[in-house]
Every structure is written in structure tokens, then in C-alpha cells.
A and B are shown apart, each in its own frame.
Chain A
């Protein structure tokens, strides 16, 4: 039996033929694995150890203290996060591949010790000896004696998660807005006068009841902590959706009355295009910097800011794609069958129009990672104690002789960005062979 031709299989075959892109997919996979396993790969607490007959797994446990009884009945209390594991004389131990945590100082090797410099180590007998190879800081330390390699591994988490999650937000916004703009254009989204005005009024009321009336509660929740904030935001958003839906139904009813049943055109395309134009006309980095300056420095805020400013490219492409798709036969068939607009857009048109967006998403992740590392290089928008690739490069600026602080994290950013760019190139060539360069 002849195998059916499928575009995705063809595109995948094309993509595989593109060596650099295919290899970069593998590099990306390993980077993601490193990021996921960071606490196991670089941790100053042993993965497994045996101390005075007691078996412990400090790196995997959430315990804040261990109590160990020795033969005489004396209780020794160990706090895993501040215990000096390397000097305790453990009976058996398995260390993480990098036996250091990112923001914990090794005071013996403070003040910029390079990979080739003489490093010191205090062994379990309390003697100062030259660093054994197992515990070397292979990529050196910074001013406070924090291990650079460990910082690199943990920062991979920050960069990749900000890159991917912020682009996730951007993709969601971009696809929906682009699809609406392209599919409906300026004169295909038609509703009744009654429904339009009722819904608009309902949106204002929904905002009022969800956010204005509850403003005090939300402000208090910001002070209490993230749990209360998420709960209160959830309540507010549910109220918003509830009120908006209610008014949408009322509007549907009102739209049947005379005078209110006249048709109204909603210019979806113009609205979205204007929105894109406004966002695009403000230099991204300056916009992100301004927003980061008023928001509390945190990873979540950074993700939101980069995501909320980065959707324009995706929206533009999806719009262009939908302009093409909406006049194709299968869409007309769907309309003839009486499918709802939502079903046609999301079930039938979107899977066909999503291809080009992947290319922009891949480049977008690269851009988001660049933006994150630029911001953390400047020290804006990221919590000061968080170790990131950008903050490591910045710390190397204080002391140029500490080249390892600049080269290694810089290369890490470069490789990640390059991998995403290669991926984007590969996807573009695979999905649209005409553009092949």
C-alpha cells in the first residue's frame, strides 16, 4: 500500500536534511536536560551519604534538619543547607557532578580564582590542602567565591524558562489576535447593535466589579504573598469572565429587538493592526526596561513583560496566513455545514496556518533569551540574588583579569541564542522550501 503524503512528515524530512538545524535540536535537548536536572548536576549537598550509620539523601530531600543520634545517645543536628558536608568525614558519599551550589560562597577560593589558578580545600581533618581534582572549580570562581560552572548550570534554567514561557504567552496572544484579524478582516465580524453596545458596557462593568471594587483586597494580597495573590486574582478574573458572559447573553437577547437588531461591523483587522503598530513603534528594549523599572523585580514579572511585548511578529504572520486561508474551499465548506466561527478558526484554520508562526517563535525565543540576559546584565528587573548568565558577565566587568567570568557565560548565551536561530532557519527552510537560501 502506498503511504499517504503528509506535509508534516515531508517538513520533518526536510528539516532532518538540514544538518546544522538538526544538530541544534539535539543541543537544545541537552540544554533543556541540563536545565531540568540542574539541582542534581550542581549541588553542594551530597546526592547520597552515610554519616554515623545514618543514610541520607540531602539533595533530594526537603527536610530542614536531620537529627542523628550517636552511640552515646547524644543528638547531633545537621541543617543540610548550611552544613559543611565536605568537612564532615562522611562514611560514604556520592556528590553531584559539580559539588557546589550557585550562590554559596567558598571562602577559601574567594576573590576571582581562575580555572588554572591554585585553589585551596579544607579536608575532613581540618587541614588546608591543595584542591583535589574532584572538588576543583573547573570554571573558576567570582569575587565571593561562588562556583561559575554551578552558576552556569542553574542559570540555564532561568534563561530557558524565561525564553520558552514568555514566548508561550506571546504565542497565545499573537495567534489569537492574528487569527481574529486575518479571518474576520475589517468587515466580516458582524454583530447586532444591541449586542455590541451591551457587551461593551458589560466589559466596563466586569472590570469595575472584578478589579475596582476588589482593588483593596488585591492590594492587600500583593503584600501577603503569592498564594493569596493568585487566589484573589483568580476570583477577580472569574468575576470578570462571569459578568462579561452574562452581558453577552443579555446582548444576544436585546439584539432581537427592533432598532437594536441593526448590523454593526467590527473592524477586527484595523484594531489589531493599529495595536501592533503602536507596540512596534516603541523600541522593545526601552519598553521592557520601562516596564521592568516599575514592576517588582521577579522572574514571573520578567516573563510577563517579555511575553506581553513580544507577540507582534507572530500576530502579523498569523494574520497574513489567515487572510490566505479564509478564502479556501474547506473554510467555505465548514461555513456551509454551519460550524461555529470559533470551531472553524481553531479546529480547521489554525492547524493549517500555524506553520510560519513556528519560525517566528523560534527566533522569538532567541530574542527573549537575549532580552533577559541584557536585562540581567544591566541588573534591571531580575532579583539581585538570582544568578543568571547576564549577571555573571556583568560581574566579570568589575575585574577584567577574571576572563572566565565573561567568556563562559557569554558563550552559554551565544550558544543558546545561536541554537534557536539555527532552529528558526531550519524550520523556515523545511516549512517553506521557496524561501530556501
Chain B
């Protein structure tokens, strides 16, 4: 048995790796630039990032902290034309522009020369001072405005890749530079324009049709899984310890480590799931047995129909109905409408009993909503598996022996009828985790489901992926547990 469990755990590993790959793929393809978000968020918060006044420095800091200055994966399929170091750019827009330019012209060294000339041109603006001596008799305000415009246009050139737009911007700047005070910037314009034309003239688009395979031992996925220290021992990690050491990265919203958020939230989700599964089994097993033992009796017919109705009811509908009837001052205000605790909280010296009796009214409606679907599902399975067993020959033999119905059902039939209900344990567990998203949102329970939902609304991808990975791992454990239970219940099964 122990050998079997060990073997199963080893088989888990590739599945878990595949789940992390799936999660990582979703995170990487998420829209938006996390660095932009972090820089905006940092300006209002008190992170280290905000102490460095310069925005570029902040961007570089967050790029490093989130690991975005690394290539995405171990392998990357690229073209001969594309540079294999483009990922080092800290500005996503400029990165895209360079990527697009490469796709158009295919000559990386020319493109890079052009881009560097834009950089120099942009930086040359800092040498310009607008005062009466440099303004050459023209309005100083006008000069300031012109310099600002020129600065803005040259920075936006760096993230432009459409030929028409680039040429329009060059023309506009050339017109702007007819003013006398631009001096050396005119040379910069001529240089960039020359390099641009050279780039267009010496285009080698055929290079984009030849594939190239790049290998990066150090990449975002590696860093996400193993951290940025030593991959096995985790020593020397500065920003992240990696998934295998329980570090899921940084939340985009609170900028706190995700494992901290999760450890705060996991209790309530776990509490409700366990209660729902437990109560579900407690109710459905006797119900299913009773219905099957008295097939076609009134109890059987009524319970079958009722269970079918419950089974087909969407859980958010039931939860909303429960709230509408039992937590609504206009109807019956029996239970509080939201949360898991009284709003005012508990006194500091409140005992265990006092706390839970205060919480109880908050818990009843959610528990009903969590339990009913589990129990409807289980009862249906229990009844049908019991019916199948009762029709078998050995039950007929038991009856023919003259055993009482009670012994036949509870001693001979039950043990075998329990088998299918044990196997669905593996399905119920993840269903309860997934279903909890909706129920936690409706009942405002501060658990993982609610956290996952707000992460989706706020596009907090590391959090979403953490929830996905954790529930995937839990499901695998659920499968293992159900298989072990199966073997325990059925002596015919040997591993």
C-alpha cells in the first residue's frame, strides 16, 4: 500500500508541472503591463520603489523584482532577424516597437543603431536651457513649449513602428526645428533620419522567415518555480524563493507576498468545504439507502423528484433565494446578510464558545447553500448504486437464506454500494473549492473564493494562478485519498 502511495505521488509530479505550465502560460499571456501598474501603485504607497524619484529607476526596480527582465521560458522559437536580448528592455512599449520594426525590416544591427540614435536625441534635450540668452530674442515661453514638444515627440518615436507615423513625426519635428534655438538637436534629427532611411534601404525581411531556437537556462518560469537563488537550496534569493518553497510571488494589488494573503484566507474556505462534504455524506447515505430499499414507495418517489430538483438548481440561485427570504428585513430577518462574524467583532477576551456562538447565525445560510448541491449529487449516486447492488444475485441468495431485510441491506448490500460514493469524493472536493467562488461572493465570506474573484476583477494574475495551482494540487490529493479509501473498503482491490 505504502509503495502504491509513493508511486502515485511520483506520478503527480509531471501533472503538477503541467498545471504550473498552464498557469504560467495564462499569466504570461495576460494583457497589460504589470510594471506600469506597480509604478502607478507605488506612487501612492510607501514602497521602496517610491523613494527613488526617477520613474525609469522604478521601472527597472519592478522589472527586477517581478523577474520580467528575464526571457519567458527555457526555449524560445524566434527568427534569425530578431535579437535574443530584446527581453532586457524595461519598457514594454519600446520592446513591442523594436519587435515590430524587426518584423518589418529584419536587420537588427541597423534597427538597434537607429534606436540608439533616438535615445541620444532624446537625452540631448537636457542640455537645452530656455532663458533669454538662448532664446535668441524670441519668447522664452514659446521656447519652453517647443522643447517640451520636441522631447515628447522623440520619446514617442521610440515606441512607434508604423512607417507612416514615423515619417509624419520626422516631418513635424523638422518643421518645429526651423526655430533658431534648437541648435545641436538638428544634427540629431538628421542623424536619426539618416539611420532610419538606411535601415529601410538595407532591409532584409527574408531573415524573418528563417527560424532560430534560443535556449535560456535562467528564465521567468524557472525563477517563478525555483526562485532567484540557488534552485535547490534557495540560498541567495533576494526577491522570490520560488513556488516549490511556497512563494507565489507578489500580489499586484496589495504588493504583499501572496502566500501571506492565502494563509489568512484559507481557513474559511476549508471550513465550509469540509462541513459541506461531511454533512453531505451524513445525510445522503441514509437517504439513498432508504430510498433504494423501498423502491417505488412514496418516500422514494418524492425524494427522487426533490433531489432531482435540488440537483438542477444553480447554487447561486439557491443562495440568492436563501438571502432573499431569510436575511431580508422585508421578509424574514432571521440571519445576518453578510460576513462570518458580527460587524462589531469580538471583545479581546472573548472565549472560544462565545466567538462561535456569535458566528453561528452567520454560518447557517452559507452551510445550507454549500451542502445542498453536494448532498443532492451524493444521494442520487447512493440510490442508484444501491439499486444496482440490490438487484444482484448474492442479495437474492441472502434473502433466500431468510435473512432479515435489515441485515441484507446494511450488512450485505451497503458495503458494496458505498464504493461509487467513495470514488466521487475526489470529484466533490474540487467542486466544492470551485463552487465556493460564487457562494463566498454572495455571502461575503473572506475566503479563497472571494479572494480569487476580486483578483479576477482587479486582474491580479499572480493571485489567480496561485489559486489555480493550489486547487489543482489539492484535487490530486483528493484523487489519491479516494483511491486509498476505495482499496480500504473493497478487499478485492489490491495495489
A contact residues vs B (CB 8 Å cutoff): 204-205, 207-209, 212-213, 215-216, 274, 277-278, 280-287, 289-294, 366, 370, 373-374, 377-378, 380, 390, 393, 396-397, 400-401, 403, 406-407, 410, 413-414, 417-418, 421-422, 435, 437
Contact = CB atoms under 8 A, between A and B. Distances in A.
A277 B15 contact: yes
Given A212-B77, A289-B452, A393 B317 contact: yes
B413 interface: no
8 contacts: A216-B104, A278-B18, A282-B22, A294-B29, A374-B314, A396-B320, A400-B328, A437-B388
A400 B308 contact: no
A281 B8 CA distance: 14
Q: Is the interface of A mostly helix, strand, loop or mixed?
A: helix
A-B residue pairs, 9 tightest by C-beta: A283-B434, A285-B434, A418-B312, A410-B317, A283-B430, A293-B456, A400-B328, A437-B384, A281-B475
Contacts of A393: 316-317, 320
B444 to A, nearest CB: 11
A418 B323 contact: no
A293 B462 CA distance: 12
A207 B314 contact: no
A281 B479 contact: yes
Contacts of B317: 393, 406, 410, 413-414
Interface of B: 14-15, 18-19, 22-23, 26, 29-31, 77-79, 100, 103-104, 208-209, 211, 308-309, 311-314, 316-317, 320-321, 323-324, 328, 330-331, 383-384, 387-388, 430-431, 433-435, 437-438, 441-442, 452-453, 456-457, 459, 461, 464-465, 467-468, 471-472, 475-476, 479
A417 B312 contact: yes
Given A290-B26, A400-B323, A278 B19 contact: yes
A205 B211 contact: yes
Contacts of A370: 314
B481 to A, nearest CB: 13
Q: Which of A287, A291, A421 has the most CB of B within 10 A?
A: A287
Nearest to B386: A437
Contacts of B22: 278, 282
Contacts of A278: 15, 18-19, 22
Nearest to B448: A286
A390 B456 CA distance: 18
Contact of B464 (A208, A274, A290, A374): A290
B467 A406 contact: no
Contact of A293 (B15, B77, B311, B459): B459
Given A282-B468, A406-B321, A421 B312 contact: yes
B15 A285 contact: no
Contact of B324 (A215, A291, A406): A406
Contacts of A216: 100, 103-104
Contacts of B31: 294
A159 to B, nearest CB: 11
Nearest to A434: B388
A212 B79 contact: yes
Contacts of B209: 209, 213
B19 A281 contact: yes
Contacts of A274: 14-15, 18
Q: Which of B209, B465, B471 has the most CB of A within 10 A?
A: B471
B464 A293 contact: yes
B316 A204 contact: no
A366 to B, nearest CB: 7
Given A208-B211, A281-B19, A293-B459, A286 B434 contact: yes
B18 A286 contact: no
Contacts of A290: 23, 26, 456, 464-465, 468
Contacts of B441: 378
Contacts of B434: 283-286
B433 A283 contact: yes
Given A207-B77, A283-B434, A400 B467 contact: no
A365 to B, nearest CB: 13
A392 B347 CA distance: 40
A410 B312 CA distance: 11
B471 A397 contact: no
Nearest to B469: A282
Contact of A418 (B211, B309, B384, B433): B309
Contacts of B387: 437
Given A283-B430, A293-B464, A414 B320 contact: no
Contacts of A205: 211
Nearest to B441: A378
Contact of A397 (B320, B437, B457): B320
Contacts of B100: 216
B438 A378 contact: yes
Given A205-B211, A413-B314, A435-B388, 9 more contacts: A216-B100, A274-B14, A283-B475, A293-B459, A374-B316, A380-B457, A410-B317, A413-B317, A421-B308
Nearest to A381: B456
B442 A397 contact: yes
Contacts of A282: 19, 22, 430, 468, 471-472, 475
A182 B336 CA distance: 53
Nearest to A417: B312
A274 B29 CA distance: 24
Contacts of B313: 414
Nearest to A369: B314
A205 B309 CA distance: 53
Nearest to B387: A437
Q: Which of A283, A374, A377, A397 has the most CB of B within 10 A?
A: A283
A414 B314 CA distance: 7
Contacts of A421: 308, 311-312
Nearest to A419: B312
A207 B79 CA distance: 13
Residue from A209, A282, A406, A418 whose CB has the most chain B CB atoms within 10 Å: A282
B224 to A, nearest CB: 16
Given A281-B476, A281-B479, A403 B433 contact: no
Given A204-B77, A286-B467, A286-B468, A400 B383 contact: no
A289 B437 contact: yes
Contacts of B464: 289-290, 293
A182 B323 CA distance: 48
B51 to A, nearest CB: 32
B302 to A, nearest CB: 15
B320 A378 contact: no
User: Which residue among A207, A373, A410 has the maximum number of chain B CB atoms within 10 Å of its CB?
Assistant: A410
A213 B208 contact: yes
Nearest to B161: A216
A410 B433 CA distance: 23
Given A378-B441, A400-B328, A414 B312 contact: yes
A286 B26 contact: no
A417 B314 contact: yes
Given A374-B438, A400-B328, A283 B323 contact: no
A293 B435 CA distance: 17
Contact of A208 (B77, B314, B320): B77
Nearest to A280: B475
A277 B30 CA distance: 25
B10 to A, nearest CB: 14
Nearest to B99: A216
A19 to B, nearest CB: 13
A419 to B, nearest CB: 9
Given A378-B441, A413-B314, A400 B433 contact: no
B490 to A, nearest CB: 20
A216 B430 CA distance: 39
